[in-house]
Amino acid sequence: MKITELPVPESVKEVVLRFGIVDLYPPQEEAIRAGALEGRNLVLASPTASGKTLVAELCALKHVLEKNGKTIYLTPLRALANEKFDEFKKYTTIRKADGKRVSIGISTGDFDSSDPWLERYDIIITTNEKADSLLRHRAKWMDDISLIVADEVHLLNEAERGPTLEVVLARLMQINPDMQILALSATINNVEEIAGWLKAGYVITEWRPVALKEGILLREEIQYKDGGARKIEKKTSNSLINLALNTVKSGGQALVFASTRRNSAALAKKISDHVGEVLSKPARRTLEHEAEKILAAGERTRISEGLSELVKRGTAFHHAGLAGAHRKLIEDSFRQRKTKVLTATPTLAFGVNLPARTVVIQDYRRYEPGYGYYPISVLEYKQMAGRAGRPKYDKVGEAILIAKTADEADYLMGSYVLARPERIWSRLAVERIIRVHVLATIAADFAHTEQGIYDFFGRTFYSYQYDVKAIRSIIAKILKYLYDEEMLDVSGESIHATKFGKRVSELYIDPVSAVVIRDSLGRKPAYLTDLSLLHLIAHTPDMGPIMRPYTRELDEMAVFMEDHREELFVDIPNEWGDHIAYEEFLGEVKTAMVLNAWIEETSEDTMIEKFRVQPGDLYRTIENAKWLLYATHELAALFGSREVLPLTLELIERVSKGIKKELLPIVKLEGVGRVRGRILYNAGYKTIEDIKHAALDNLTNLPLIGPRLARKIKEQVGGFVKKEKWEKLEKEEEWKQKAITEY
């Protein structure tokens, strides 16, 4: 089927054609034939890169242009939401009947807002979590949604994020019974079941734009699924490295999935020695530049230095311990085919689009701290394997598992390559998860009776697969808990949220966290310090997985706890009485120490050294801390604990920036973070007023402050930069840049 034949407005076809798409891919054609453009609900299950997004784009524009409708596009990750936003932007040149242009909005942050400004957009892209929080705020525009696109719907199977998606879909179906649903999925075993739940038809295809060959590498030989075999030249004693080199030598790129962060870094290092040898001179020059970009982005740490060394040799690693800026650079340089081999932990397998000619899976087991090794699911394997083959560059992609013995090779062939992916199961039936949604159901006025709550849960995928009766007793227990903790009020049959309950639901925190915060605020420590609040938030279940102290930290931590005992809101458990509680407490204290070190301006590198906390984890902790400090602030305001209010506000700022109090005034300037802020401060520029009076030259003479930034700073403080002065500085900068590039 040709784009020109589609039943969509000409203006849409023009845009699609302009972007080089002329014919539909087979899965797209099937989806159209199944009624996607006629308003039918549909689950489209087809492999990676088979063009599912275009179907969603066509549907969305049809709604906007022909039905005066509104689309919400749900993605599981912020990074994906950004990617989709960029893809949809191309349609903003189209005008609607009223003469206005098609508008695309995105909202992924700030969980305590109904974002009323989103109302003016035709197509709104959000994460599942943001959509959940918008529903809790009863954002009005959500009643006008006529099309919902649920991307990566197989995620229903994920323990943490699956239930959110399930609840969001159930609620949107509840408030907009007439809207169209388009769910996009990887190929899974029970597409029919998901379709049944969504009252949708389905299309299942195995079509891929690039053919995929799956196989097992044992020593020097690959055995393929279809019976073929291929020898790999033995350059080293490590067959995985030989395979990666083989790919690079034939002009391809290899993506290697390792089971742990440590393995991914170690493998990259080993591989880089050999990849470095086969790079051309111009390729090497390009890589030098990429390596510099890594060092220039964010703070310099032993990790970023190691990474930049690897990049020079055409190799890199990618895992959740890397700072976001570094992850992005690594993804870009692999996508632009500058780096040749990328080792990654399996988190990369879904989400960002990073194809490679060869995908290598080092280990079919995965490691989870506190749990040990377990074999990955077939679904996970298929998602990793699906990354093989770059459209436009490769004729075939290869996905290869590594076996150490012949027995293991047989096992891998049977259990992964030839196996069908598992069924997807609802993960909703967990008390902690249901608790949040029971409160939200009442607080956001979706139901006001016990029966109403059961009815709502009766619409979930869980109930479709099991039976809502199975969670009735959990719901009843939760209702009692919420009532006892004064988040709910009951009169006769009717249940309402109290002010407290409503606020907790809007703040998007676990009711248990709210109880911890409320109770603690009621009995203040002897001394209220930064640490008091940092520990309090670390003590809530919403802080996430605890930081495990290392053996060599334990003594120092025990002393630290003794020294600060009187500042803590919570009593230290007895080490010998309740050992588990004590261990947990140590983890909380460590989290608080890490945050405390961060706002004392400890460098990221020292954090790695002292606490073994990698930047990626540090930033996730910071994000959580900001959110929980804000929740603490809001609850303190609600309960009248006025004396903590200024401190929580100050801490939110300091934790966001990682600074001591004295830097607060100057980091408000754009382009000035913790590092440059400290440089300015130490040079005597302690306030906006000081900077206003500073000569431009004096600013540019400081380390890490170039003329462009100096001017930006001056402009922000209302300072005046003379034209001649600026031109002179620009010239100097140009020369400097030139000198650097030539060198």
Ligand X SMILES: Nc1ncnc2c1ncn2[C@@H]1O[C@H](COP(=O)(O)OP(=O)(O)OP(=O)(O)O)[C@@H](O)[C@H]1O
Q: Which residues contact 519 (CB under 8 A, 6 or more apart)?
A: none
CB 22 within 8 A of CB 2: yes
Backbone angles phi, psi at 198, to 5 degrees: -85, 5
- Regarding 75 and contact with ligand X (CB under 6 A), the answer is no
- 419: nearest Cα among 461, 467, 379, 385: 379
Give strand ranges (E) for 301-448. Answer: 315-318, 341-344, 358-361, 365-368, 372-375, 396-403
How far apart, in Å, do the first and last CA atoms of the chain sit? 54
CA 647 to each of CA 458, 627, 732: distance values in angstroms, whole numbers, following the listed order: 44, 15, 45
- Regarding 51 and contact with ligand X (CB under 6 A), the answer is yes
Among positions 177-236, residues that touch ligand X (CB under 6 A) are 186
Please, what is the minimum distance in Å from the beta carbon of residue 165 to ligand X? 15
Site string for Mg ion, 50-69 (x = CB under 5 A): --x-----------------
Which of 47-55, 210-218, 299-307, 315-323 is the region at the interface with ligand X (rule: CB under 6 A)? 47-55
Say which entry of ligand X, Mg ion, none residue 614 contacts (CB below 5 to 8 A, set by partner kind).
none
Q: How many CA atoms lie within 13 A of 45 on its CB side?
A: 23
- Regarding 390 and contact with ligand X (CB under 6 A), the answer is no
Please, what is the minimum distance in Å from the beta carbon of residue 383 to ligand X? 8
Say which entry of Mg ion, ligand X, none residue 687 contacts (CB below 5 to 8 A, set by partner kind).
none
Rounded distance, CA 420 to CA 205, Å? Answer: 14
Please, what is the minimum distance in Å from the beta carbon of residue 354 to ligand X? 10
Please, what is the minimum distance in Å from the beta carbon of residue 29 to ligand X? 9
CB nearer to ligand X: give 187 or 505.
187
Which residue do the tokens 């922000």 mark? 716
Which of 49-57, 113-121, 263-271, 366-374 is the region at the interface with Mg ion (rule: CB under 5 A)? 49-57
Rounded distance, CA 382 to CA 541, Å? Answer: 33
Which of 48-56, 273-281, 653-661, 721-729 is the region at the interface with ligand X (rule: CB under 6 A)? 48-56
Rounded distance, CA 507 to CA 501, Å? Answer: 10
Please, what is the minimum distance in Å from the beta carbon of residue 335 to ligand X? 11
- Regarding 48 and contact with ligand X (CB under 6 A), the answer is yes
Rounded distance, CA 82 to CA 92, Å? Answer: 16
Interface pick for ligand X out of 54, 64, 191, 497 (rule CB under 6 A):
54
CB nearer to ligand X: give 54 or 628.
54
Rounded distance, CA 445 to CA 594, Å? Answer: 40
Among positions 450-509, residues that touch Mg ion (CB under 5 A) are none
Q: Can you give the length of the chain in residues? A: 743
CB nearer to Mg ion: give 203 or 659.
203
Interface pick for ligand X out of 353, 405, 451, 737 (rule CB under 6 A):
353
Say which entry of ligand X, Mg ion, none residue 51 contacts (CB below 5 to 8 A, set by partner kind).
ligand X
Q: How many CA atoms lie within 13 A of 63 on its CB side?
A: 30
Please, what is the minimum distance in Å from the beta carbon of residue 27 to ligand X? 8
Interface pick for ligand X out of 41, 50, 460, 513 (rule CB under 6 A):
50
- Regarding 598 and contact with ligand X (CB under 6 A), the answer is no
Interface pick for ligand X out of 6, 12, 24, 243 (rule CB under 6 A):
24
In terms of DSSP bridges, do strands 211-218 and 221-224 run parallel, antiparallel, or are they unpaired?
A: antiparallel
CB 102 within 8 A of CB 91: yes
Interface pick for ligand X out of 12, 32, 37, 49 (rule CB under 6 A):
49
Say which entry of ligand X, Mg ion, none residue 107 contacts (CB below 5 to 8 A, set by partner kind).
none
> How large is the angle between the packed helices 281-296 and 324-335, nearest 10 degrees?
160
CA 196 to each of CA 205, 461, 473, 636: distance values in angstroms, whole numbers, following the listed order: 18, 10, 26, 46
Among positions 289-348, residues that touch ligand X (CB under 6 A) are none
In the DSSP assignment, the letter for residue 523 is: S
Rounded distance, CA 168 to CA 128, Å? Answer: 7
Which of 23-31, 115-123, 138-146, 622-630 is the region at the interface with ligand X (rule: CB under 6 A)? 23-31
Where on the chain is the footprint of Mg ion (CB under 5 A)?
52
Residues in touch with ligand X (CB under 6 A)? 21, 23-25, 28, 48-54, 186, 353, 391
